[in-house]
Amino acid sequence: MDTQQLYFLNDIGKQKPESIRNRSAACPFCDKEQLTDILATDGSIIWLKNKFPTLQDTFQTVLIETDNCEDHIATYTEEHMRKLMQFSIQHWLHLQKNEEFASVILYKNHGPFSGGSLHHAHMQIIGMKYVDYLENIEEENFQGLIVQKNECIELNISERPIIGFTEFNIIIDNISYIDEMANYIQQTVRYILTDFHKGCSSYNLFFYYLNGKIICKVVPRFVVSPLYVGYKIPQVSTKLEEVKIQLTQYFTKEKDEIIHKKTE
């Protein structure tokens, strides 16, 4: 068995509900009374086992972010966003201590090009018995053009991205800075949905624990380039400086107030 490859269970996969494109479909996360195998909760945030575990040799869980089917990261209050990040990161890091898993991943899909199937805001924490995600990445994938940096946190745009074009990296080296990370993630997502390429409908969040640092990579999603699909050749935007200038505006108080109104 290739230990750096996951195996998809098609018979389970075809049973999964889909509500991103089919908005008339019933939302399984809204029917709280039918939720089972709950692992932990914090108010409206619920962590539970995935009812459709499609990946062989993994422990798949879902983290329901809110009880409002139309709410999402760009519209959350600062308090809820911080609570969500504290909850998700702490459970992810705790599961990493389980020796049953080679590694544990935390990630989020949002929008039709993100690879997700459910509209209701959620994240996923997956323990992988044989796959170590750190073997597939390099430290240079998280370095790049600095947008914001202080003693607590760094936000940069990848100059050596994993898949290509534009990837935003938010980095902290101490778990006590999760609230700052939550703020940076929220503002970056607001930028992507509102102004990046005049508004992008989809993005992913990917979390990494690398050399003592907690990293969130925020990736706007479009149709994947055939150069990457066929040859694994990433492409880098020549407009990174312009993106930096745009994104920097999201870290001023006046701009934040405008954007929050636009994303409500």
Domain boundary among 136, 171, 198: 136
Q: Residue 165: which region, alpha, beta or left (left: phi > 0; alpha: psi -120 to 50)? A: left
For residue 169, give the CATH number of its domain: 3.30.428.10
Same domain, 4 and 132: yes
Written as one letter, the residue type at 176 is S
The last residue of one of the domains, among 121, 136, 151, is 136
The sign of the CA dihedral 182, 185, 186, 187 is positive
DSSP state of 252: S
What per-residue confidence (pLDDT) applies to 258? 46
Statement to judge: residues 183 and 129 lie in one domain: no
On whether both 22 and 149 belong to a single domain, the answer is no
Its pTM stands at: 0.92
- Give the residue numbers spanning the domain of 174: 138-264
Same domain, 132 and 174: no
Count how many domains the chain has: 2
Q: Are residues 130 and 28 in the same domain?
A: yes
Residues 118 and 17 in one domain: yes
Question: Do 143 and 132 share a structural domain?
Answer: no
Name the phi and psi angles at 241, rounded to 5. Answer: -65, -40
Residues 206 and 115 in one domain: no
Verify that 176 and 222 share a domain, yes or no.
yes
pLDDT in tens, the chain (264 residues): 556 899 999 877 556 655 556 666 778 888 888 899 999 999 999 999 999 899 999 999 999 999 999 999 999 999 999 999 999 999 999 999 999 999 999 999 998 989 887 889 999 999 999 999 999 999 999 999 999 999 999 999 999 999 989 999 999 999 999 999 999 999 999 999 999 988 899 999 999 999 999 999 999 999 999 999 999 999 999 999 999 999 999 998 545 554 454 455
Cα gap 121→92, rounded to integer Å: 18
DSSP 3-state of 169: strand
Query: Are residue 132 and residue 4 in the same domain, yes or no?
Result: yes
Phi and psi at 14, nearest 5°, equal -75, -10
Domain co-membership, 132 together with 142: no
Tell me: do 185 and 123 sit in the same domain: no
